[in-house]
Amino acid sequence: MRILFVLDSGFDTYGPSLHLYKALLEDLLKAGHTIHLIESVSTRKDPVIPETLENHPNFSYELIPIAIVKKSHFALRYLAGVQYCFRTIPSLKKCKGKFDVVHVQSCPWAQFAVTFAKKYVGAPTVFNVQDMFPGSSIAAGVMPRKWMQKIFYAIQKIGYKKADMISVISEDMKARVVAQGVPPEKVHVIVNWYDDSFVKEIPWEENKFVKKYNMSKDKFYVQYAGTMGFVFDYKMVLTVAENLKKYKDIVFQMIGFGSQYDQFIAEAKGRGLDNIVFYPLEPQPMVPHVYSACSICFIPLKRDIIGNSVPSKAGLLMSCRRVIVNSVDEWSDYYEMFEREDMGLSASNLDSDAVTAAILKLYNDRGLIEHFANNAQPYGKSYYSRTVNTAKYEQLYKKLSLLKKK
C-alpha cells in the first residue's frame, strides 16, 4: 500500500505521540509499504526525521513550517495550527491519486487537515483521535465559555463526518465519539502502545535511574511519570501525600513537566510535603529504568477527563511489572478494567480517602503487589504492545484501501 501521513507535530520537537508514529512508520516500512510524510517543522532542536526512517528507500517526506506559540496562548496557537493546515494544501494537491490511504494525526485543528486531505488527495482517510478536543479542554476547566464550546464541537463533528474511519485509544473514548452521532462501525479502538522490543522490567541492581538518584530499597516509592498538564490531578497527589505524611518510608516520585508543574511544586513546598520528590523527564532509552524504579505507580486524572483523554502509559507500566493505583471516574471502562483483569486498584477521583486507602492496601500487602503484577504483565503484552497494535493499523489501512477500489 501507499500511505500518506499528515502530522501537525514534527519530529524536531517534543510531542507525546511521536514515538508511536516513529514505531508505526518503521513497522509499515518493514512490512513493505510505501510511506510519504507531511509534517510540521518548528524548532529543529531534535532530528527533523529519525535516521531509521530517513534512510529507508520507501520513505519520503516534506516539511511545512509551523509557528511556535506557547500553549497558554490558545487562540494564537490554534490559528498557527490552522495556518499550517492551509500551508499543506500545495503538497496535498501533488499527492492526488497517488495514495491508497491517508492518516491524519490528532490535534485541535485536525478537522481542517482531514477536510483538506479528503478534498485534495482523494483517498480514504483515517482520523486518529488521541485527545477529544474540545471535550478535554472543557473537562480540564480551560474552556469555560459556552459559545466557544459550541463552535469547537461543531468543527469537531465536521472532522468526524469527513473521515472514512476514526481510530481512538480507548473504549471510553469510542463511547464519547459514538455519543456524538458517529456510527459505531466507523470507530476503531487501537490503544497507544509500548515498544515490546525494548521495554521490560529492569532489576533494581542494574537500574540506571536508581543509581543516578541513589534510591533506597527501604523506601516505598509511589511514582507518577509523565506530563503534568491540565488533565493531571496534582491536587489529589497533594492531598494523598498529606494523608500519608506520617509514613516516613513512603515517597511520592513525580517525574516530568507541564503547565501545572510550577504550581504543583509551589503548593507542595507551601504545605511542607517533603515526601514528594520532583525529578526531570528522562530520555526515551531510560523509560524502562524509570518505570522499574518504584514500588507502585499512581495515575491521578481530573474529573470527566477519562474518555476525552486516556492514561496511555498503563501498558508501559504493566510491561515493567508495575502495579497501578488509578484515581479516575468510577463509571469508566478504564476504572473497571483493573478489577476485571485483577491487576491493580482504582478509586474514585472524588474520594481522596479511597485513593489513600488503595495505596495503603498495597503498602501493607506486598504479596498483593506481586499477584497484580503477575496478571498485569501478560495483559499488557496482549493488549498494549507495539507488535499487536501496529498490526491493527495495517489491517485498518487495508480495509480502507478497499473503499478506494470500489
pLDDT tens-digit map of 123-180:
999 999 987 676 667 666 666 677 677 777 777 888 889 999 999 998 988 998 999 8
383-396 b/e with 16+ CB inside 10 Å = b?
A: bbbbebbbeebbeb
- Total residue length of the chain: 406
Q: What span, in angstroms and rounded, lies between the C-alpha atoms of 353 and 35?
A: 51
| Residue 73, pLDDT score | 75
Task: Please say if the pLDDT value at position 59 is more than 80.
Answer: yes
Q: What span, in angstroms and rounded, lies between the C-alpha atoms of 74 and 53?
A: 32
Residue 39 is given by DSSP the state E
Task: Please say if the pLDDT value at position 308 is more than 60.
Answer: yes
Give the contacts of 406 (CB within 8 A, at least 6 positions apart): none
| Top-confidence residue, 352 or 402 | 352
| Residue 373, pLDDT score | 96
Task: Please say if the pLDDT value at position 309 is more than 80.
Answer: no
pTM: 0.85
% of the chain with per-residue pLDDT over 90: 69
pLDDT tens, residue by residue, 281-306: 898 889 999 999 999 999 999 998 88
Residue 400's Cα: distance from chain center in Å?
24
Q: What span, in angstroms and rounded, lies between the C-alpha atoms of 228 and 63?
A: 29
% of the chain with per-residue pLDDT over 70: 96
The cell 529519525 sits on which residue?
50
- Is the dihedral angle over the CA atoms 330, 332, 335, 337 positive or is it negative? positive
Cβ pair 293, 217 in contact under 8 A: no
Task: Please say if the pLDDT value at position 249 is more than 70.
Answer: yes
244: three-class secondary structure by DSSP:
coil
Task: Please say if the pLDDT value at position 4 is more than 70.
Answer: yes
| Top-confidence residue, 229 or 27 | 27
| Top-confidence residue, 28 or 131 | 28
> Mind listing the domains of the chain with CATH numbers?
2-193+386-405 (3.40.50.2000), 204-384 (3.40.50.2000)
Cβ pair 201, 292 in contact under 8 A: yes
Residue 193 is given by DSSP the state P
Query: Which of 45, 16, 50 has the alpha carbon at shortest distance from 128?
Result: 16
| Residue 197, pLDDT score | 84
Mean pLDDT estimate for the chain: 91
The model's confidence at residue 336, banded by pLDDT at 50, 70 and 90, is: very high
Give the contacts of 379 (CB within 8 A, at least 6 positions apart): 318, 341, 343
| Residue 16, pLDDT score | 67
134: preceding bond cis by omega (within 30 degrees)? yes
Cβ pair 264, 293 in contact under 8 A: no
312-328 b/e with 16+ CB inside 10 Å = b?
A: bbbbbbbbbbbbbbbbb
Task: Please say if the pLDDT value at position 36 is more than 70.
Answer: yes
The cell 507502585 sits on which residue?
296
First to last CA, the chain: 16
Task: Please say if the pLDDT value at position 67 is more than 70.
Answer: yes
| Residue 62, pLDDT score | 95
Q: 151 in the Ramachandran plot: left (φ > 0), alpha (ψ -120 to 50) or beta?
A: alpha
Return the bridge partners of 125, or none: 102
